[in-house]
Each structure stands twice: as structure tokens, then as C-alpha cells.
Structure 1
Amino acid sequence: MESAVAAGYTDLGLDGFRPRFTPIIGTLAASGPSSIRDLAQVTGVTHSAASQTVAQLVKQELVILTPGQDARQRIVHLTPKAKWLLPILQAEWAATTAAATELEAELSFPLSRLIDEALDALQRRPMRQRIADVSPARRLEP
């Protein structure tokens, strides 16, 4: 599904725009400039994933970075190009949401509910712990 969504952006002339940009741009549009740490927290990804996405957005000239109060902190801002694209992106996000809702109506069980349940289960007990709990190699004593 992600590749189909990305192809939709290409159809709009937005070559290189990736679906993973959507939560970051949406958050910045709604809340204004934010630190990478805050973007990671709001979008539910790791700091590393948010940082990598922001780096890609910088290359696409959709965001710029400015220093924060702490020398290690960087504040992410939408560029004029991103602000100009917002109405197009918002229309595409709405269309994607409508298409996903339509898809779910055809399924025997809502995909979004399954994803939410999986994320909740992984929050309670991360996959790394699940692997460790069943791995015979991890039970070997040195």
C-alpha cells in the first residue's frame, strides 16, 4: 500500500515525496516549528526515524533546521515550498484516508483495528523481548 500511496504523489508531480513525510509535515502544519524529539514523540516513531525523515525533508527543501535553546537541539520549520504544497497534500491525505476507509469496508476485520491491537501488544511487550523469551540461543549459559 505504501508504494501505491507514493505513486499517487508522483502522479501529482511530487516526485520523491514519501508517505513517511506526512506525519511530520502534518504535525508541523498543525503545531508550528518543533524539535525532532517532539516530532518523534507526537508521530510515534523513534528519534532516529524522525531525524532520518527530517533529513530527507531537508533534501526535498520542505523543511529547514534552526538551532534550539540547547546546542544539541534542532528546530524543524516548514519552508515556503512546503506551505505552498499544504493544500495539495491535505487533499491527498483526505483522499488516502477515504480510500483506506473504503478498503476496510471490504475486509472481514478492520485493518486499522488490527494495527492498533498489534501496536498495543508491542507496547506491553516489545518484539525484542518476545524474541529473547523464545530464543534457545539466549538461554545458553556462558
Structure 2
Amino acid sequence: MTTLSGSEILGIRLRHLLELLDGGVAAVYADLGPPGFRPRFTPVVRVLAASGPSSIRELARAIGVTHSAASQTVAQMVKDGLAVREPGEDARERIIRLTLEAERLLPALETEWAATTAAAAALEAELSYPLSRLIDEVLTALDRRPMHRRISDAVARLGS
């Protein structure tokens, strides 16, 4: 039986790490009581709570995700009654704002966010190198040279 090394299963290990982190946060949301609130809603809610109604493009830029990812998250929030879409100045643009239900959740969410920040800092203190710093470095490296390019270059080298 072949045993795969860490670099060979990097994506699997990263997904598992994300499942552990998101699962812990989701469990806290369940404990605090916002029914159906998902960790992926957090950045959108935080931006809207701090900045007020925003377009999908503004949200995506503020939270550092693609337009598509922000749009999908907002669509689920609208479905769950946490956000509404309103027409923008441009007929193609939609402005997103929090519903009263979402605004009522803000005090409990603020408590959770502060606790999550403290827990993340404590986790990083246990590590030999801060995970947040490593993630920043990985994202910067992938901005310089995307994974697709790296794999294509490796295929060309291996095929030669």
C-alpha cells in the first residue's frame, strides 16, 4: 500500500483544516442561537454592519473574495432572511443591506467575533509560526504565480 506524503495531499489537508476551523465556529454559532447562521456570512455581515449597504463588487473587494463567491454568499443570506437586494444607481447593480433580523443578531455576533479572535490568537501562540502570516505569504506567492501556472510548468519539466 502506498502512503502519500504531506505535499502530495496538501489540498486534502487544507480542506480538513478548514473543516475543523469552520466547524468549531459553526458550533459556537449554534450555541449562541443565531439559527442557520454560517461562518461564511461573517465577513459580509461585518462589512455591512460597519459600512452600511454595499454592492456585491464592494463586498467582494472588502472581504478579499471573488465577485462570484460574494454573490453566492449574499444569495444564501437573502434566502435565509439576513440580507436584501435593492436596485442600485446602475440598472445592473444591486445594493445589499442587512435585514432587521440580521441587525438584531449583531450583539451576539460581536461577542462571538471577539471570542474567535482571541481563540485564534491563542491557537497561533501554540504554533512555531503564525498561521495567519503563513496564509498571507501563500496568497502573495500565488498572486505572483498562480497554482495553475506552477502545475503547468511542472508538467512541462516532467514531460521533457
CA-based RMSD of the aligned residues comes to 1.4
2:24 equivalent in structure 1: 4
In 1, the alpha carbon distance for the partners of 2:148 and 2:135 equals: 18
Query: Unpaired segments of 5 or more residues in structure 1?
Result: none
TM-score (norm 1): 0.92
1:46 equivalent in structure 2: 66
In 2, the alpha carbon distance for the partners of 1:34 and 1:24 equals: 10
**Percent identity of equivalent pairs:** 65
**Stretches (4+) displaced over 4 A:** none
Among 64, 78, 90, the residue aligned to 2:110: 90
Give per-residue Cα distances to partners, 1:26-82, cap 9 Å, x unaligned.
000111100001100111000000000001111121110001111211100011111
1:112 equivalent in structure 2: 132
**AA of the residue aligned to 1:129:** R
Cα pair 2:84 2:99 within 8 Å, conserved? yes
Residue 122 of structure 1: how far off its partner (Å): 1.0
In 2, the alpha carbon distance for the partners of 1:115 and 1:48 equals: 22
Residue 125 of structure 1: how far off its partner (Å): 1.2
**AA of the residue aligned to 1:19:** P
In 2, the alpha carbon distance for the partners of 1:4 and 1:84 equals: 23
Query: Unpaired segments of 5 or more residues in structure 2?
Result: 1-20
2:142 equivalent in structure 1: 122
Residue 14 of structure 1: how far off its partner (Å): 2.1
In 1, the alpha carbon distance for the partners of 2:97 and 2:72 equals: 15
Residue 84 of structure 1: how far off its partner (Å): 0.9
Residue 129 of structure 1: how far off its partner (Å): 1.8
Residue 131 of structure 1: how far off its partner (Å): 1.9
1:15 equivalent in structure 2: 35
Among 49, 53, 64, the residue aligned to 1:29: 49
